[in-house]
Copies of this chain bind each other. A is one copy, B any other.
């Protein structure tokens, strides 16, 4: 088989396919179209007029519905706007400019500070660090989550290590779920910095692809049990549950951290969009309603994950490795010379996330990881794109 000829044929097809971002497909968004006619009323359970100002923490019924799904007590959950990325970014800002509980000083005055970044990871986490000059140190992922021997050593050695990014469930981009042991060690480990924080981006908490949902240990409870109650900031959103641009977001933590967070956001806002909260509660109803809704998403996207796995198995057996996630939005493909593969794919009209984006500073030292986002294209386009990508991998391998 002549790979060069296959690649030329691929280029000839003049494809225009995009596997870059983890966006829901229009059919997934259609599942939540009823939101556009809701809510049917504007009054919250406690009588609050949802249309007016106020209620900085969010309505009780919103917190009661989503708290358990994110393993956060409702009293310790805060409901935000349409983006959990904003909550993460703003938490870093708050910590830079106002001492977090337990901190001797604001992070802006703490000299060089460092965040640990399990790799491969989520580029938008790294971008927040880059913006604020926060040093990033990569930590390798294992099948159980970040390599905890490395993490424990780094946080114990340096009081400048103030934070760590985690996507603990169906991790972006590997799909790995942190094991109970990993979560326990994260909650329990001694840290040199008294103000060390884990940014627990539980973006895919309910985003299962199989009938056997993964279990994630309760890090807030474990941190409290191990005497580190203020260690963890939990984030989540409905962006990939309802409408990607018009959902609601969540911040959860210890009572002290929540008080700190609300004291800061009180300077920033008179309150969140409570009508959108009522809209979501009426639409999703309860945990069963969320689970039923997420099964409809899984029906649409599980076949996409299967196609990627099938095509890669058929075309690249032995030449590459990849993950087969049971949830989330991404597949991590590991190939030799990833940059060249992505460039070849681009030249053939297949847009991939830049190689290196899964690593701090956009640099994958092994030049190995490609993030595949299979949800947006339809099945036929996806199969075409992955087949084309496989040609590029084979081409680069043969030239190497």
A: which residues have CB within 8 A of B?
Answer: 21, 23-24, 26, 29, 32-33, 35-40, 42, 49-55, 81-83, 85-86, 89-90, 93, 96-98, 108, 124, 127-128, 131-132, 239, 243-246, 264, 267-276
Contact = CB atoms under 8 A, between A and B. Distances in A.
B272 A131 contact: no
Contacts of A55: 245
A269 B85 contact: yes
Given A21-B53, A85-B268, A124-B270, 13 more contacts: A29-B49, A36-B38, A51-B243, A51-B244, A52-B244, A53-B245, A89-B267, A89-B268, A93-B93, A96-B97, A245-B271, A246-B275, A273-B273
Given A267-B131, A271-B245, A49 B36 contact: no
18 contacts: A26-B49, A29-B52, A36-B39, A83-B271, A85-B269, A85-B270, A89-B267, A89-B268, A89-B269, A93-B97, A97-B131, A127-B267, A131-B264, A131-B267, A245-B272, A245-B275, A246-B274, A246-B275
Contacts of A127: 267
A51 B29 contact: yes
A375 to B, nearest CB: 11
A40 B274 CA distance: 21
A9 to B, nearest CB: 32
A124 B268 CA distance: 9
A270 B33 CA distance: 21
A275 B96 contact: no
Nearest to A50: B245
A325 to B, nearest CB: 20
Nearest to A25: B52
A295 to B, nearest CB: 20
A8 to B, nearest CB: 33
Contact of A81 (B38, B52, B82, B264): B82
Contact of A276 (B29, B96, B246): B246
Contacts of A39: 36
Contact of A243 (B89, B97, B270, B275): B275
Contacts of A86: 268-269
A24 B42 CA distance: 15
B33 A42 contact: yes
**Which residue of A85, A264, A272, A275 has the most chain B CB atoms within 10 A of its CB atom?**
A275
Nearest to A93: B93
A330 to B, nearest CB: 15
A21 B270 CA distance: 11
Contact of A128 (B83, B98, B267, B272): B267
A245 B52 CA distance: 5
Nearest to A247: B273
